């Protein structure tokens, strides 16, 4: 017997899983994605079909371990066709599915639904009429639209449409910001309606040591997005300058995490001061405010950027 059994339950797709669990997936809010075998998202040898619902939850099903309306699919493409037939059989007259295109040549055969690109003004306009024009589960890429509205250093935002109470729709506040200098997306929270972004990302993290008041050395690097290896120069008692030439640290938005260090009888606390875009002052300060040398001994520090 197959692990998964899919049937048509008029307005929903009924998914029964061996063991007794049953899911009724609303046809209007389902998104189908082919996840081919031996890719980053599917390391098994069997092609899978992902059925996403409610804008968040997805069930991945091997094509050879399922029946659809009593029939075993012959391939993942046949599986997708049978599922789409059920989803498009919607007695309410709406919510026809748009399938992802199966393209094995693209991104190691990984296929996803294409995000829709909109300007900030266009995305905010979609919120009108309780978000009637928003598609739950659909990804949206938001750009400036030729006018600088996103914070400096962020060129794109990626959000997803979701269902809200009372039949309304909106955008999931759990979003991603495209950091221009890093050429990558990082997680954040984003309110499309107010264009308010809140998040941070680690730009450098690792362990450092110092002895005899000399320059600090890097024992281990956990994260380095600076584009180069930073230099930890000793500059006077208890002062270490973190220097780089590629990345520019933003003033008021560069923060430090590092543990306190207890060396009897003193407790030392870490301190970070912004000197310039390419230089930060790192200190270990004891209770009377005096910085001291040689406190770092394979000590973890983490430098983050707020946005």
Provide the pLDDT for residue 108: 43
- 11-37: average pLDDT: 83
Let me know whether 225 and 287 are in one domain.
yes
Let me know whether 193 and 213 are in one domain.
no
Which domain, by its residues, includes 23?
A: 4-88
Instruction: Tell whether 106 is covered by a domain.
Output: no
What's the total number of domains in the chain? 3
> Contact, 267 vs 148, CB < 8 A?
no
Let me know whether 56 and 138 are in one domain.
no
- Whether the predicted pLDDT of 117 surpasses 90: no
Instruction: Tell whether 176 is covered by a domain.
Output: yes
- Whether the predicted pLDDT of 94 surpasses 50: no
Q: Three-state DSSP class for 74? A: coil
- Whether the predicted pLDDT of 102 surpasses 70: no
Let me know whether 244 and 296 are in one domain.
yes
Provide the pLDDT for residue 87: 84
Please, which pLDDT band fits residue 262 given cuts at 50, 70 and 90? confident
DSSP state of 148: -
Let me know whether 300 and 230 are in one domain.
yes
- Whether the predicted pLDDT of 110 surpasses 50: no
Instruction: Tell whether 96 is covered by a domain.
Output: no
pLDDT tens profile 121-147: 999 999 999 999 999 988 999 998 777
Query: Residue 77: in which H helix or E strand, if any?
Result: helix 76-88
Let me know whether 123 and 207 are in one domain.
no
Let me know whether 78 and 132 are in one domain.
no
Residue with tokens 């899911």: 23
Please, which pLDDT band fits residue 177 given cuts at 50, 70 and 90? very high
Query: Dihedral of the CA atoms 244, 247, 250, 255 (nearest 10)?
Result: -60
Query: Residue 120: in which H helix or E strand, if any?
Result: helix 120-125
Please, which pLDDT band fits residue 40 given cuts at 50, 70 and 90? low
Let me know whether 214 and 236 are in one domain.
yes
Provide the pLDDT for residue 31: 82
Let me know whether 185 and 135 are in one domain.
yes
**Predicted TM-score (pTM) above 0.75:** no
Instruction: Tell whether 51 is covered by a domain.
Output: yes
Domain final residue pick, 149, 176, 198: 198
Q: Which of 115-119, 164-168, 175-179, 251-255 has the lowest mean pLDDT?
A: 115-119
Beta bridge partner(s), residue 179: 154, 184
| CA separation for the pair 88, 190 (Å, rounded) | 33
What are the structure tokens assigned to 146, written together? 């030729």
Q: 1 exposed, middle or buried (CB, 10 Å; 0-12, 13-18, 19+)? A: exposed
Let me know whether 194 and 205 are in one domain.
no
Instruction: Tell whether 81 is covered by a domain.
Output: yes
- Whether the predicted pLDDT of 54 surpasses 70: no
Let me know whether 171 and 237 are in one domain.
no
Domain final residue pick, 198, 225, 243: 198
- What's the CATH number where 68 sits? 2.30.29
- Whether the predicted pLDDT of 38 surpasses 80: no
Strand-pair category, 196-198 with 279-285:
unpaired
Domain final residue pick, 140, 172, 198: 198
Name the percent of the chain lying above pLDDT 70. 90
Let me know whether 178 and 265 are in one domain.
no
Instruction: Tell whether 98 is covered by a domain.
Output: no
Q: Which of 44-58, 85-99, 117-131, 266-280 has the lowest mean pLDDT?
A: 85-99
Residue with tokens 């449409």: 161
């Amino acid at each position: 017997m197959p692990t998964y059994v899919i049937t048509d339950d008029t307005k929903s797709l009924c998914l029964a899983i061996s063991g007794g669990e049953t899911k009724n997936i609303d046809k209007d809010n389902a998104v189908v994605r082919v996840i081919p075998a031996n890719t980053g998202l599917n390391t098994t040898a069997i092609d899978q079909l992902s059925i996403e619902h409610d804008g968040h939850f997805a069930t991945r099903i091997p094509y050879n371990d399922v029946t659809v309306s009593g029939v075993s699919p012959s391939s993942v493409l046949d599986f997708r066709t049978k599922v789409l037939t059920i989803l498009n059989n919607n007695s309410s007259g709406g919510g026809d599915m748009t399938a992802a295109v199966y393209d094995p040549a693209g991104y190691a055969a990984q296929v996803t639904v294409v995000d829709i690109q909109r300007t900030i003004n266009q995305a905010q306009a979609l919120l009108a009429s309780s978000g009637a024009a928003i598609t739950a589960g659909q990804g949206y890429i938001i750009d400036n639209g030729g006018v600088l509205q996103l914070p400096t250093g962020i060129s794109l935002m990626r959000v997803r449409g979701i269902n809200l109470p009372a039949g309304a729709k909106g955008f999931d506040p759990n979003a991603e910001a495209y950091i221009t200098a890093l050429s990558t997306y990082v997680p954040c929270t984003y309110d499309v309606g107010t264009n308010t972004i809140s998040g941070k990302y680690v730009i450098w993290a690792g362990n450092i040591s110092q002895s005899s008041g000399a320059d600090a050395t890097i024992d281990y690097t956990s994260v380095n997005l600076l584009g180069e290896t930073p230099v930890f120069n000793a500059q006077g008692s208890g002062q270490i300058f973190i220097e780089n030439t590629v990345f520019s640290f933003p003033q008021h938005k560069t923060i430090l995490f590092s543990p306190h260090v207890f060396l009897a009888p003193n407790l030392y606390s870490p301190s970070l001061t912004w000197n310039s875009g390419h230089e930060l002052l790192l200190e270990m300060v004891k209770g009377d405010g005096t910085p001291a040398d040689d406190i770092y001994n394979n000590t973890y520090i983490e430098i983050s950027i707020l946005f």
